[in-house]
Amino acid sequence: MWGRSRWAETRGSCCLCRVDQFLMLKHSRVGIGLLGASKMSVGKSHTDRQWWKEAVVYQIYPASFNDTNNDGRGDVNGVTEKLDYLKDLGVDVVWLSPIYDSPQVDNGYDIADYKKIYPPYGTLEDVDRLIQELGRRGMKLVMDLVVNHTSDQHPWFLESRSSKSNPKRDWYIWRKPKYDVEGKPRPPNNWNQILGEAHSAWIFDETTQEYYFAAFTPQQSDLNWENPDVRAAVYDILRFWLDRGVAGFRMDVINLISKDQSFPDAEVVIPGQPYQPATQHFANGPRLHEFLGEMRREVLDKYDQMTVGEMPFIYDDKEFLKIVHQKDGFLNMVFHFELVDIDSERGDVPGDARMSVGNWDVSDLRRIISRWQRIMIDGGGWNSLYCENHDQPRSVSHYCDDSDEYREYGSKLLAMMETTLSGTLFVYQGEELGMRNVPLAWGPEEYKDIEVNEMYPNDQEKLQKARRALRAKARDNGRTPMQWDSSPNGGFCPEEVTPWMRVNDDYPVVNAAAQTKPEATSSVYHFWQRLVTLRKENAGALVHGGFELIDETNPDVFSYVRVADSGEKWVVVLNFTGHSATWESPKWGLQWVAGNYADGLDKVQSGGTDLVHLRPWEGLIARQPCN
């Protein structure tokens, strides 16, 4: 058993276990999992348990994880090399962003061959070995499935564009041009690109004199899911990987596969711009459920696997529940964007709404998270829990204060929130270290993402003006190489090798080697490690339990209670501000067991009052045993 010496830490660290009674929780899941649903004062809980619900999923961005062949890019063998690191953290499932053969226009999300590996990443044999090594550790592999579109270099598209009579012509979306008064061809409608709002989503093909649809970039041509041959080819891809031992898929923008086949003009919402956002016409289309249902019947139901769909541009709660309902849905869970878009508003960077940086407060955070907890718990669905990924800024920079003074506190605060909510937990590489956004001093030339280049092609002046927005929101913030140690290049690749993207300047301090040392008990990594253990050992409450807000009007503190069917309560108190705050504790006889300040538990337990005083970015977790 763990004694007090392991958990009582020095200033600037955390205490995750103080009382002897807490140690008894290691086996508290026994006897809870088989209890039926029961009504309680804080809302019902989930009772349908599947392996993927309690799993901790770790997302790896392959180019930036670990380079073992000294070419400046990460690779599959680099993932295999670090499996013990992930196992020690508590990871159950590794999710790889695309490793398929690709021209890398959009860092692998433009796929040229779904059954081959991008050579710098390795070979199919390397993937087989990774799956085998994961299995030896009781872990699984999830692949990124990108089937809304392919690369324009995919053999399917090369055939499709070769002539109007080619058998694969209808595998993509082709339309005849309109013509202006001068007889010049113009796009079929006014839809713009997602990664470049100023550009048309229709690309003119000189050979066949028609336009093809590409929602993201000209090099990512959308597949025509109306064609049953396309769907059959996609299902063949799924079987190929599932038969190889993959345990499921993260499905990239899967709700874009069904489009409005009338392809009408979009409403003008950006005055003076010729091309307009049209997601209402090509997201969540009329045949989406039909396509997903067919995929499930033809492939997914025949394997023990997990699915999570990335689904932007859905704003209807009922639509989400139709997708993920545990009885009648099509996927296990979805990624929604409401939390990561908490500060987005059009205006900061003209021409790209996603790069805007607006204001938010605790009430916004409370409203979004509590709404999604209630939607899924009450509606029979299941949440995905994430605060950052390869398309988002680093969470400590996004939601907290990433300064040297508060970076660790903020990183631990977010960990406390993520590990105590209902849903499947997704951790992004480096999040467990408290990695932060790139420095503001970095110039636009350091950004590699096509989104930045498409925003202002060849316009360095405008890019310089957008520097602050890029530092806050650019996707490259989450794509800097993993910081393994304090050696040159952060241990990602050898000193003499130039990494594909610059390593964040703070790697001498923020790195895995420093944080995984046994004596580094106060590190962000060790805090995550202990919270993951806490979550797994108390899954009845923290994964499957009921959820209810506490003190819904507090302007600074986000607090809630999780309840197991046994009646055991867990209370989470999070000060999401950079100043001191107060919170009134319910009179429940709470045992305070976790905090992200070294002396946080001592302070709250010796306060002698129900009024809890919280320092900037301070969080606390308490337990009330069942009677």
**All residues at 6 or more sequence positions from 479 whose CB lies less than 8 Å from its CB, including other chains:** 61, 63, 64, 107, 390, 448, 449, 501
Distance in angstroms (rounded) separating the CA atoms of residues 593 and 21: 10
Q: Quote the radius of gyration of the chain (alpha carbons, Å).
A: 25
3-class secondary-structure state, position 75? coil
**Identity (one letter) of the amino acid at 492?**
F
Please identify which of the residues 252, 506, 556, 568 carries the catalytic annotation.
252
Terminal CA-CA length for the chain: 24
**DSSP bridge pairs for 142:** 95
Measured between alpha carbons, how far is residue 296 from residues 96, 243, 302, 303 in Å?
A: 22, 16, 8, 10
Q: Are 197 and 277 in contact (CB under 8 A)?
A: yes
- Residues contacting residue 298 through CB under 8 Å, at least 6 positions apart: 235
- Report the half-sphere exposure of 498 (CA within 13 A, side-chain side): 1
Amino acid identity, residue 469?
A
**Catalytic option among 101, 106, 110, 310:** 310
Q: Is 298 exposed, middle or buried (0-12, 13-18, 19+ CB in 10 A)?
A: middle
- Where on the phi/psi map is residue 490: left (φ > 0), alpha (ψ -120 to 50), or beta? left
Q: Is 310 a catalytic residue?
A: yes
- Which residue is it, tokens 């969540």? 284
Half-sphere exposure for 129 (CA within 13 Å, toward CB): 12
Q: What is the dihedral of CA 156, 160, 162, 165, to 10 degrees?
A: 130
Q: Are 200 and 160 in contact (CB under 8 A)?
A: no
Q: Can you point out the beta strands (E) in 79-187?
A: 93-96, 100-101, 113-117, 140-145, 149-151, 174-175, 178-179, 185-186
Helix (H) / strand (E) element for 411: namely helix 407-418
* Tally of CB atoms within 10 A around 573: 26
Q: What is the DSSP string of 98-121?
A: P-EE---TTTTSS-SEEEEE-GGG
Residue 476 annotated as catalytic:
no
Residue 539: count other Cβ atoms within 10 Å of its Cβ: 19
- Alpha-carbon distance 335 to 131, whole Å? 25
Interior/surface letters 129-153, b for 16+ CB within 10 angstroms, e for the rest: ebbebbeeeebbbbbbbbbbbbbbb
- Residues marked active site are found at 252, 310
